Structure formats: structure tokens, C-alpha cells
Amino acid sequence: MACGNCGTSGSGKSGGCSTGGCSTRMNTHDWLSGMPLSDIGQPFTIVEISFNKGSRKDFFRNSSPHFFEKGEWVVVEGVNGWDAGQVSLQGELVKLQMKKYNVEDNAEIKRILRSASELDLKICEENKGRQQEIMVRSRAIARSMKLEMKISEVEIQADGKKATFFYIAEHRVDFRELIKVYATDFKMKIEMRQIGARQEAAKIGGIGSCGRELCCSTWITDFKAVNIAAARYQNLSINQVKLSGQCGRLKCCLNYELDTYMDSLKAFPTDADLIETAQGKASLQKRDIFRNLMWYSYHGSNQQYPLTIERAKEIRDLNKAGKKPEELGSVEIERHNKPEVELDKGFVNDVGQISLKSLERSAKNLKKKNKEKQAHSSPTGQNAKKAEANKRNQAPRQNNPNTNQGLKETTKKEANPQNRNSDQAGNNRQGKHPKNRPHKKPRNQQEQNDPNKKNTSSESNTPNSSAD
């Protein structure tokens, strides 16, 4: 039979899933459900009923001869009306639950009226659908009245005649006027219940730091006090952020392994917190229950020395006798840097973790990259870069004979000024100028082209021309 909310297959006739987060948030496995009734006699008449998807459970008496199965919807007595819930537990296990919660079997226990019909379920669904709207409206009213309280959840009875408001407040709140306003606006009977931060987290739900759904919203039914001493016994760092849960209080899981740690700590001496040697006084820093070691450090030193439990007791007994050993006699701890079993290069386990070899390769590549960056960023590396660039620029000049020959000819010409003048003269004869400037005629040639100067020169040179 499948779960009505998530669709997962249930076991037997339970009709619910085993996740604990659907129809029955605080699911209880009935391990006696498969036993025949003839073996255990008359079944127990009190049945455990869960309301509002398992956020609240209560006990009701089944006075009818009808046998209700787990997960079946029933109608029970409510406050001035009726309420609808699901059967979460029945039979002999209900006695254990009643003993656990100190519930007595008396006449005050309310009765189961009948099995829920389609009309009952429809009315219940309509009234439950109003819970979110009423919660938003109730928070606005409490804020307008300037009350220091927070409405965390609203639970409406199946027939819509009663509403229970769960609120959180650090101090005592006078909500007498608030109840009157709620009763006038919502037209139903109002009940106020104060809860703590842990109960609020259980009602809201969420995902913890472990990646799973919160324990308080899945299976924890009662909350035990969690002390900071539980973290100290387990040698955890006193970090408020890491030790706090979604509710802002210490995590409930700190109590899970506390009993195991307490049993293991019984083998450690309690009066060996301070011991003396010839080198000075050493104080206890921590106890390692996995290796059965006690770590000590001298005053004014940060170095820690691991001692076995027997050695610590021996030094303690010597100090009581007025003697001091020369040294602590610490134990050498073997530290394995490499794994004993080598994995394949392409190995990836079921969780998706990469093999250790691939991690080592990535670490080596990262070291190489860092070294290259340091070499390029350092001044010596920059000089080496410049030297390589100069070599590359000079290499083709040395290898090309044509360029070398051209360089030799230019150097010879610059060294011999006569060759330079002859080249310039040749350029002038061809009508070229080395610097591409406008050509200027020589002074003698300019005088020959000038007619005035030409005549004078001819007259001066030929004195007998006039006589002729």
C-alpha cells in the first residue's frame, strides 16, 4: 500500500512511508502489527491519533467494536465539536507510549466517534487551508498591538470551531486583549500556547548541517536539555556557530554519543590534571579516548606531550610520594602520510570522492604552477626573460650572411669619409640627394646661368673684342 502524500510504497497495512516526513512526521513502527489477535488476547482499547501531519499526537479510546488500521482517518471528540486525524499506533505498543508520556488510563480520555467520511475530509481540508492566511493576519495584529511575541504556527480544528496559536516569546506576554481581537476577526475559539525555539524548528522543519532533515521534525518527540559540557567531554571546539542548530540552541545530536564518551572516560584518572617532573609542572590539555592518551604541556610552552594512562597514573603516584621523575616519557605517535592501499587512477567511489592518487597529482601540478609564477614575478626571472628576448632578436642577424655583409659595408663607408663624399657626388650627378632635399646648383653653375654676370665675365676675359 502506497503513502498518500509522497507516493512511496509502505509496509504491510500501514499506508505510510518510512521517511517520517509525510503523513506521520513522528512515525512509530508497530512491530506487533503482524501478530494475530488470538495470541495477545483482547486488543488494547486506546489508540494513538496524529493531527496536522504528525505535528501533534494524542490518545483516544475506541469504545466501538470496529478495529481501525494504521493510517486510517477517524473522527474524534474535539473542543465543542469534532476533529479528524490518522491512526498512528494501536495495540500493546500504545501502553508503552502512555507510560513514556505519563498518561493515565482514566475517564478523561476522549473517544473515537467514527471513521471519517468524504464529507468530513472535505470540511477538514477546507479549514486546514485557512491556516496560512490566518497566521499572516494574526502576526499583523500582534505587531500592531506592539506585543513582543512571534506567531510560529496556527492549527485549526477540523470543524473550524477552534484555533490554537503557537507563539514564541522571551518574556511573559499579556495577550488577553489579543485573544478578544482574534475571536472577533476569526469567529472561532482561541487558544494560545507558548513553545520554545526547539519546538518551533520542529514545526517549521529544515535541513541540518549533516545534509539530512532535522531530527526534531522527523523522529524526536521530547527534547532533552543540551549542555556545553557535552561538547567538552567529546573534545569538540567551543564554537557557537558550529555547535548551534537551526533553532539557535545547542544541537540535540551532541547527546547522541555522550554516553559512549562518558563510559570511555571512566578509565582515565580524574586527579591527574597537574603533574610535576624535574623539568617543571605539566598540565593536562585533552584526553584522547580513541588512542587512550593524555596530552600534557609545560607551563609557558606550546608543545604537547602524549602520555599513556598508565604513565600518567605512575607520575601521579610518584608526585603523591614526594618524588619527581626526570621527564614525562611521552609516546611517539606514528603518522601515516600515505595510504597503505594504493587505488587506481580513475577510481571514484560510490559517494563520488576522487582517489588519493589524483589528489596527489593535482597537488604536484599546483606546486609547479606556483613555482613558475614565483619565477616570473621575481626580478631575476624578469631579467632572464629580457636576456632570452635579446638572444632571440640577435640570433637571426648572426645567422643571415646578407645582413652581415650589409652591416660591414655601411660600417666601412661611415669609417671612410672619402667614400661617403664620392657617394654623395654620384647622387648629385644623378639628380638625387641623400636626404631628399630640393637640389641646389653649385655656385659656379649659377653664375654661368645669370646673363648679367655672364656678360661681365666675357668682357673681362676678352679685352680685344671691342677693338674688333
Residue 258 has pLDDT above 70, yes or no: yes
Least confident of 187-201, 227-241, 284-298, 326-340: 326-340
Q: Do 274 and 255 sit in the same domain of this protein?
A: no
For residue 340, tell me if it sits in a domain.
yes
Res 439: pLDDT: 52
- Contacts for 251 with CB less than 8 Å, ≥ 6 apart: 208, 226, 243, 244, 245
Claim to verify: residue 271 and residue 319 sit in the same structural domain: yes
Residues 135 and 178 in one domain: yes
Same structural domain for residues 141 and 157?
yes
Q: What is the pLDDT of residue 461?
A: 43
Q: Is 299's pLDDT higher than 60?
A: yes
- pLDDT, one tens digit per residue, over 185-224 is 999 999 999 998 898 888 888 899 889 999 988 888 778 8
In a domain, residue 415? The reply is: no
More confident site: 406 or 30: 30
* Residue-level pLDDT at 65: 84
Beta partners for 284?
Answer: 296
> Is 163's pLDDT higher than 80?
yes
Q: How far apart are CA 365 and CA 368, in angstroms?
A: 5
Of the listed ranges 10-19, 105-114, 148-157, 282-291, the one predicted with least confidence:
10-19
∠ CA(260), CA(261), CA(262), 5° rounding? 90
Q: Would the pLDDT of 230 be above 50?
A: yes
Claim to verify: residue 273 and residue 338 sit in the same structural domain: yes
* Cα torsion 391, 392, 394, 397: sign: positive
Q: What pLDDT is recorded for position 24? A: 40
CA nearest neighbour of 84 among 41, 59, 40, 52: 52
Q: Domain for residue 438, yes or no? A: no
pLDDT band, very low/low/confident/very high, at 118 (cuts 50, 70, 90): very high
CA distances from 242 to 232, 254, 331, 371 (A): 14, 11, 32, 36
Which residues does 244 contact at the CB level (< 8 Å), separation at least 6? 250, 251
Domain assignment of residue 452, yes or no: no
- pLDDT value, residue 390: 67
* Domain presence at residue 94: yes
Q: pLDDT value at position 334?
A: 62
Percent of the chain with pLDDT over 70: 65
Section 232-260 average pLDDT:
90
Residues 92 and 140 in one domain: no
Q: How many other CB atoms are there within 10 angstroms of residue 51's CB atom? A: 19
Any domain includes 133: yes
For the chain, the average pLDDT equals 76
pLDDT band at 14 (very low <50, low <70, confident <90, very high): very low
Range of the domain at 101: 37-116
Q: Is the pLDDT of residue 165 over 90?
A: yes
Do residues 325 and 305 touch, judged by C-beta distance below 8 A? no
Same domain, 256 and 289: no
Give the residue with greater pLDDT, 457 vs 68: 68
For 353-378, the pLDDT digits (tens) are 555 566 677 777 777 887 787 776 66
Distance of CA 421 to the CA centre of its chain: 85
Residues 102, 51 share a domain: yes
**Mean pLDDT lowest among 54-68, 235-249, 422-436:** 422-436
Residue that wins the pLDDT comparison between 56 and 423: 56
**And the C-alpha cell for 432?**
638625387
Count of domains forming the chain: 4
User: Residue 440, Cα to own-chain centre: how many angstroms?
Assistant: 88
Residue 160 has a pLDDT of 92
Residue 447 has pLDDT above 80, yes or no: no
Least confident segment among 23-37, 325-339, 349-363, 423-437: 423-437
- What is the 3-class SS of the chain, one letter each residue? CECCCCCCECCCCCCCCCCCCCCCCCCCCCCCCCCCHHHHCCCCCEEEEEECCCCEEEEEECCCCCCCCCCCEEEEECCCCEEEEEEEECCCHHHHHHHHCCCCCCCCCCEEEEECCHHHHHHHHHHHCCHHHHHHHHHHHHHHCCCCCEEEEEEECCCCCEEEEEEECCCCCCCHHHHHHHHHHHCCEEEEEECCHHHHHHHHCCECCCCCECHHHCCCCCCCCCCCHHHHHCCCCCCHHHHECCCCCECHHHHCCHHHHHHHHCCCCCCCCEEEECCEEEEEEEEECCCCEEEEEECCCCCCEEEEHHHHHHHHHHHHCCCCCCCCCCCCCCCCCCCCCCCCCCCECCCCCECHHHHHHHHHHHHHHHHHHHHHHCHHHHHHHHHHHHHHHHHHHHHCHHHHHHHHHHHHHHHCHHHHHHHHHHHHHCCCCCCCCCCCCCHHHHHHHCHHHHHHHHHHHCHHHCCC
Contact 280, 325 (CB under 8 A): no
- Does residue 409 fall inside a structural domain? no
Alpha-carbon distance of 350 to 357, in angstroms, equals: 17
Q: Which of 263, 298, 330 is the last residue of a domain?
A: 263
Give tens-digit pLDDT for 56-112: 889 999 988 888 888 899 999 998 899 999 998 888 889 888 988 888 888 889 999
Domain endpoint, select from 291, 322, 344: 344
Q: Which of 126, 148, 130, 129 is nearest to 139 (CA)?
A: 148
For residue 167, pLDDT beyond 70: yes
Question: Does the residue 26 lie in any domain?
Answer: no
Give the C-alpha separation, 353 to 230, whole Å.
Answer: 32
CB 67: neighbour CB atoms within 10 A?
12
Let me know whether 77 and 134 are in one domain: no
* Domain identity same for 141 and 83: no
How open is the CA angle 259-264-265, to the nearest 5 degrees? 95
Task: Determine contact, residues 188/217, Cβ cutoff 8 Å.
Answer: no
More confident residue, 174 or 9: 174
pTM over 0.75: no
Please tell me whether residues 231 and 209 are part of one structural domain.
yes
Nearest residue to 273 (alpha-carbon basis) of 265, 281, 283, 264: 283
Same domain, 149 and 181: yes
Query: Which residues, including other chains, have CB under 8 Å from residue 334's CB and lie 6 or more apart?
Result: none
Q: What does the alpha-carbon distance between residue 158 and residue 86 come to, in Å, rounded to a whole number?
A: 12
pLDDT-wise least confident of 45-49, 58-62, 244-248, 377-381 = 377-381
Last residue of a domain, one of 66, 92, 116: 116
| 11-15, 55-59, 181-185, 336-340: which is most confident | 181-185
CB 256 within 8 A of CB 227: no
